[in-house]
Every structure is written in structure tokens, then in C-alpha cells.
A and B are shown apart, each in its own frame.
Chain A
């Protein structure tokens, strides 16, 4: 069986590019639009070579006007196309938020169910490339707040390869968070990828002592932390949320009911975050299964600093996860 589907060592960037290519190949209504996605090959070289392969009509460079091209994408989606809109980084998506929140997210409702907006908006995001305060945002909580949107977070290479194509099948607007700090990271993936489910969180490592609930860049860090904790006899379960809206709560509630402890790891600032929501739901729904207060490891609430050591200190790292869990389990 393994020989029939061998694994392949690829970067996160390559996985994203493969998914783009596959999407463009599978459906002629799919097109990619964004700043520098064509001639320049994408600000992070994710779409490099696609212009040559698919032509100008399907790989479209746009002016620096997020509100304009996101709005154009929404219009195309309403008209029956399958646009993939790349906003160079999540930071600039703030300029397009009116389009996303007031049009993409609401039109189905405003039209009494008549107008679907099947747009996919890809946002390069995250912290860890020394891009300083204005270009290191974690806006997942912003978007996950809005009814009408589906918000996905690409925390693994498998999802980098598989999420986009599933997202394009959705009749509703989807926001995909891709993490620039992971672009060069190499991991083994299956040569012929399995279909991914974009409605469910995923347990990446099973365990019995504590549930680590995370997404995005927290996923690999948490898996590494879990390996280190295993050497100390702590059996952690790692859950990649993957879908930040609508949350797949049954997966993490079931997990915490089993382990009786939970820690939530994310880069976003702690106040009013994804972890706030997860923590609340655990409290509301499985309070009597908790054997310890829910803990959260989140971004330090400061504008993200430029210096590498301070930037690193501003978001949870593997050692922070290990230390926090050791403390929760009383092994320190």
C-alpha cells in the first residue's frame, strides 16, 4: 500500500502552489487575482510560474487597491466565477474588510438566500519573519467573529495541499489563513493527497493527559512540545482546529472530556481571541469534566516587535507550551 502512495518531502510553499495549480486545472471558472501574483510570482513566490502556465486571464495582477480587487472578486463570484483572491498579507485585508464583512458575508442573507458568494480569499499572515508591527498581524479572531464567513487556518502541509480545493467547492465565502513563516518548512506529505474535510478539527496526536488545542503556526510547535512532554510521561493530545468559523466544537469538547485538561495555543493576542471562545465553550458545555482551569498561551499583547528575539518572545514557542503544561500537570 505504501508503495502505491509514497510520501514526498515538500515545502509549505510548494504545497500551496500545487493546490493552486490543481484548482486552476480542475475548473476553468477558477482564476487567481491579487497583487504581484502574476509577473512577480507572488509576494512570497507561491504563484511563481502559474502566469506562464495559465495565462493572463486566469492569473491577474491587480493595482494596490484591496477594497477594489476584493470587491471585483465578490462580483465575479456572484456572476458565477470561482475567484481565488490573494491579499498579499492579512495586514492589508483591513482595507478590504468592508467588502468582506458587508458584502461577501451578508449577501446571501440580504438577498433572502438568492445570492451566494463563492469567493475564496487567501491571506498570507502571521509572525516570525521580522516584518514588524504593521505586517505581523494575526487577524484570525477578527474574521472568525463574522457570521456568514467560513474561516480556515492552514496549520499543516496536508492542509496547504488540500484545503483550497475543498474551499472552492463551497457556495459561501471562505477566508484562508496561510502562514508566511512556514513557507520554507519542509514536511513529508502523501504524493497523492487524500481529500481533507474543511468542516472538522483534526486530532493530530492522540493522548490522555491534556488537550492542546491550537491552529496555524501553533500546530507544529504543539506537536513538537507533545513529543518532548511524552519523554516526561505526559501524554498530550494535539488538536488542530483548522476551521475557526464555524468551530468544530464537538472534536475539542470530546477530547477535553477525555483528558479533563485543556490548553489553547495561538499567536493572536489573548484578549477576545479564538482561545477566548474555545475556553468559554469548554466552560459552558463540559464544566464538570474539568480537572484544572483551562489555560491559554497567546500572543503577548503588544505591537509585534521587530528584533528577532523580541518577536520570538511575543508569541508562544515550543518551550512555553512545554513549561505551561508541566506546570498544569504539576511536574515542575
Chain B
């Protein structure tokens, strides 16, 4: 039995509102299927399943706001899943189940707040988080009176929160946390990308307009390839550095009404530059429309921010926790560059790296930028 929980779509997410179930009991699901739509601060997100099986029961009613970690549905693992885990001996199966059970118990206790059914109903109707209330009813249960008090206290400050406001507060929460907790170090390297741009021009001339590549694709791919050499930067910090197997680059996308979202481009190192471009063409419009999937919001292992044309020369990013690095590309400018005793005009981009000093040191960062430079000098290898 698999308990499907409300996923965390970033360190700043505490809860989400289930808008719609996309599956019903009895439906078969496989990894990557969209099981539900959840309203979060970052918009309407499609939530994916990570297991294979049959939906046994949907526990949460549509329209309910629930904390991260709440069990939303019960999935019966299918036999296919068991077969897929052939390497493991059958004897190890029960052991495999145990940690899951432990996890469930912990989660349940964490979210347990006694409340009368009526109080719960009123709280839901008024979007009050019952776990934040102090219960004065029997056995410390939150009663109708407690919820009504909370509603009364809330009223003066209450105002309709527009999506851009909630994005703003999500960004605020994540960035404050980062600035408070992460000791950043910054490195900067000016990279000549003339060769890369020429190569791109050549490639693009053979492509139909809609398939043409933007320089950002090279930056993304080069970053991924450099990260393969420096896995410490493709990691998260959770009381220690945890390297991530997949290189999922979160790309900062600015929203027209203000705020940013950071959708992940999955397994960039395994994708060709054409595939990356294709992904961007799909991802960016969806990001702007706040229509991302849960994995796209939660799976990034490093962030890449890109200023684009005619903007600032360099950007010094703030790391998105729990990641440990952010790579910044300034706008592409023509610069006089000295090479072999000669001055030439070259297209350059100023690349910065902000690293979490708990996880890595400047030496790693510096070597990474050198590797990144190497990748961009050899675009044909990308």
C-alpha cells in the first residue's frame, strides 16, 4: 500500500489546495501520471505520481486545503512494480515496507490537531489553518468558538490574494530563508562566446525558424556538462551535502506581473541541445501561465538565471534552498579582448557562480567556471 502525500513544491511551500482529482479510485497510474491539480502560491500545479499501481481511495475532498505531507490517496502497488524490483530478493520485501510505515506514523502525528467536526468545517469554509489554532474544547480540541475567534481576528487584515501577490510572498519566503541561512560566496568569470555564437549561427541556418536555438540553450547544456565534473555543486544541503544523481537545472523565468518561477529542466546532461530547446518552448509559456507540474517545481538541483539581451552585465544570484549553487549569465556584450598579445572584439558573457560555502569552497566554484568556459569554447561537443 502506498500513501500518496501532498508533495512539497519547494522549501517555501506549507500547504496546497486540492482543486481537482484527475484520477478516480480503480484507475491505474504509472510514474509521471498527473493525479491531481493543486493550487499553490505558485499557481495551479499538476501533481504527478511517482509509483505504479491502482488508485484504491482518494482521501481528500476537492477544494480542501491541506498541509504538505498529508496523505491524499492510497495507491495499491501493482505487480509490475514488484517485478521491476527484481534485483531485490523476495525476503527483503517486508523490510522494504517498514521504513514507509514509520514515516507514515511520524507524518500523522505531526499534522494531528484535534478539532470538532463543526470547527473543522467552519475553518475550511473560511480558509483558516486549524493547526495554527489553540483548542479550548474538550481534550484541547479546536471548537467552533476558537475558529470563530480566529476568523474575527483575521478579518481586518484579510484581503483577496492575487496570484502575483502569492508569488511575491513565495519568492520573499525562499529568498529570506536563503539569505538568513546560506553563507554565499561569489565568483565571476568573463567568457568569450564568439566561437559558440558563430557555431550556433551556422547550426541555425540549417534549421527551420521554429526549431532554431537560442544561446541560452548552450549555457544550459554547458552548465550541465560542467556539473558532471563537479557534482558537489549539483546537490542540496540538508545538515550535510547530498549530491543529486540527476542534473535538473531550474531556469529562472520572470513573470510579466512581477515575481519569478523556477521550473526544472530534467536531466539536462542527457538531453541534446535540440531537446533542451524543445523543452524550453514548452516550459516557459507554461511557467508564465503558472501551469507547471509538481516535478517541475520541486526537482531542480541547481538554478540558472539568465539576464538576456540588453540587460545588466552580470547577475549575482541568491541560492534557492536547499540547493547549493546558482549560476548567473549576464547579457551578451561585445568587448575588447586581449588574446595572444592582440586586442580583438569579441562577444562575451559574464558568468557568475554563487555557492553555498557550507557545501563547497571557492576552489570548486572556480574550477567549475573554468570547466564551463571550456564547454562554451567547444560548442560542437555540446
Contact = CB atoms under 8 A, between A and B. Distances in A.
B118 A288 contact: yes
Contact of B137 (A287, A288, A289, A292): A292
Contacts of A328: 138
B118 A290 contact: yes
A221 interface: no
Contact of B138 (A287, A288, A289, A292): A292
B117 A287 contact: yes
Nearest to A287: B117
A260 B118 contact: yes
Given A287-B117, A288-B120, A293 B144 contact: no
Contact of A289 (B118, B141, B143, B145): B118
Contacts of A289: 117-118, 121
Nearest to B115: A291
A174 B193 CA distance: 98
Contacts of B141: 292
A291 B143 CA distance: 6
B136 interface: yes
A330 interface: yes
B292 to A, nearest CB: 34
Given A288-B120, A290-B117, A290-B118, A330 B136 contact: yes
Nearest to A327: B138
Given A328-B138, A330-B136, A292 B121 contact: no
Contacts of B145: 291
A82 to B, nearest CB: 47
A291 B120 contact: no
B100 to A, nearest CB: 30
Contacts of B143: 291-292
Interface in A275-300: 287-293
Interface string A292-316: 1100000000000000000000000
B119 interface: yes
B116 interface: yes
A322 B107 CA distance: 40
B116 A290 contact: yes
Contacts of A260: 116, 118, 144
A219 B120 CA distance: 33
Contact of B121 (A288, A293, A330): A288
B117 A288 contact: yes
Nearest to B119: A291
A292 to B, nearest CB: 6
Question: Which of B118, B144, B145 neighbours the largest number of chain A CB atoms within 10 Å of its CB?
Answer: B118
A292 B138 CA distance: 7
Contacts of B119: 291
A273 B58 CA distance: 34
Contacts of A291: 116-119, 137, 143-145
Nearest to A289: B118
A260 B144 CA distance: 9
Nearest to B141: A292
Interface string A16-32: 00000000000000000
Interface in B111-126: 116-121
A286 to B, nearest CB: 9
A255 to B, nearest CB: 14
A178 B137 CA distance: 39
Contacts of B136: 330
A291 B114 CA distance: 11
Nearest to B137: A292
A330 to B, nearest CB: 7
13 contacts: A287-B117, A288-B117, A288-B118, A288-B121, A289-B118, A290-B118, A291-B137, A291-B145, A292-B116, A292-B137, A292-B143, A293-B138, A330-B136
Leading 3 A-B pairs by shortest Cβ distance: A291-B118, A291-B116, A288-B121
Given A288-B121, A289-B118, 10 more contacts: A260-B118, A287-B117, A288-B117, A290-B118, A291-B116, A291-B118, A291-B143, A291-B145, A293-B138, A330-B136
